[in-house]
Structure 1
Amino acid sequence: MPQRNNAPRASAVLVIGLGRFGGALAATLEDLGREVLAVEKDEHLVSQWSGRVPIIEADASNPDALEQLGAQEFPVAVVGVGTSLEASVLITANLVDLEVPQIWAKATSAEHGRILRRIGAHHVVYPEHDAGQRVAHMVTGRMLDYIEMEDGFTIVKMRPPKETYGFTIGESRIRQRYGVTVLGVKSPGEAFEYASEETRINPGDTIIVSGDSGLLEAFAARP
């Protein structure tokens, strides 16, 4: 088993499991210039990703293997294993035992997520469920992206309703009439602009809007 000789940087991320989720995560972190180490036990996936991201072939459900590769030195670890509930739980528990400061774990169901949280995962993500929700919101209106935060608070990227074309945000009285807040406007070929009462909305613009998810749905549904 290869061992790490140098401690990772404070921003380094350990990614365990290079399926669709873990692979996309590791590649994106690498593109962003973050130090990343991938761990995968499937030799075919290791061969596929070798040369694309730093990778070690190891079984992370074995606590000795994790310790030998220096998992305890990473400030952040992501468990991308989702097809095997047992492996996901064992790996997460191993990381908890190694006292990794931030553990992100992929869950495939609500029950899976509850187990991961009970054993100590700090963050649980549901990639397929979350993607399904986002797409559902986007296919039913003019929304281009949808991020739900907490307690119904949501941020969306969308095309503005026609009734706002040519008017400033203050003139349209969007917040007073619809209960949502325009945070910014991006016009074609122009830099993103943080919104003010004087910001004018034109056809072809993209706007960033925040507020209650129900109110945003109603605003995005306007012609």
Structure 2
Amino acid sequence: MLPRTKRITLIAFITLLMFQSCDRKQEETKNESPVEFNQKLQDELRKMAEIDQIAAYIPQGKYKEMTNEEWNSFKDSVFTTHQIRLKEIFDKHGFVGFDLAGEEGSFNFWLMVQHSDHNPDFQGKVLADMRIKMEKGNASKRNYAYLTDRVNKNLGKKIIYGTQVSYNEYGQAISRPLEDSANVNERRAEVGLESIEEYLNRMTVSHFEMNKENMLKKGITEPKLYKVPNE
């Protein structure tokens, strides 16, 4: 039997561990408490995304009257201003999950983070929190894959899922340098993406249609496609 003094010390130590365990459980319960849906945030993100989509593509409507300098200035202003607001939202809520702003709000937040290429450190922080929520079913696996590749590209690293592309002289989409390219389709399937061949073909067709006049001038009359596995 232990001496009385040692028994008291052991009991005190065990009691302390019990209190610490209770504190941890209370903290975990607090962190996992239900999030209240934020309609105001969803509406704000929708309006921001509408402007983002104007800036993300070629000039349309009244924007076609802008000079290249004016257009580029407009785009930079939109993406920079949005990123400041996105950081404020992120600092308060972390990545915007389905529970906070619905699938629409979560998508719009992710979409604008995708276009915050001028601040890859911010994109990386968002990605880390998005992974946590994605693993709990509170964020899109597909969108997580796209943001992963975006961050890696912006940091000069190889991409993982093959979602970032460039185009060769025939207008055919080609993946940027890939990590473990032999198993890319397995990774894509895990997050609900089609095969990389199908994806590259889709991007090739889209590129061809957007640049059809120039393609025809080069003598390219149709998109150059990859053979899709199991077709």
Higher helix share: 2
Task: Tell which has more relative contact order, 1 or 2 (C-alpha 8 A, sep 6+).
Answer: 1
Higher strand share: 1
Q: Pick the structure with greater CA Rg.
A: 2
TM over 0.5: no
- TM-score (norm. length: structure 1): 0.34
- TM-score (norm. length: structure 2): 0.34
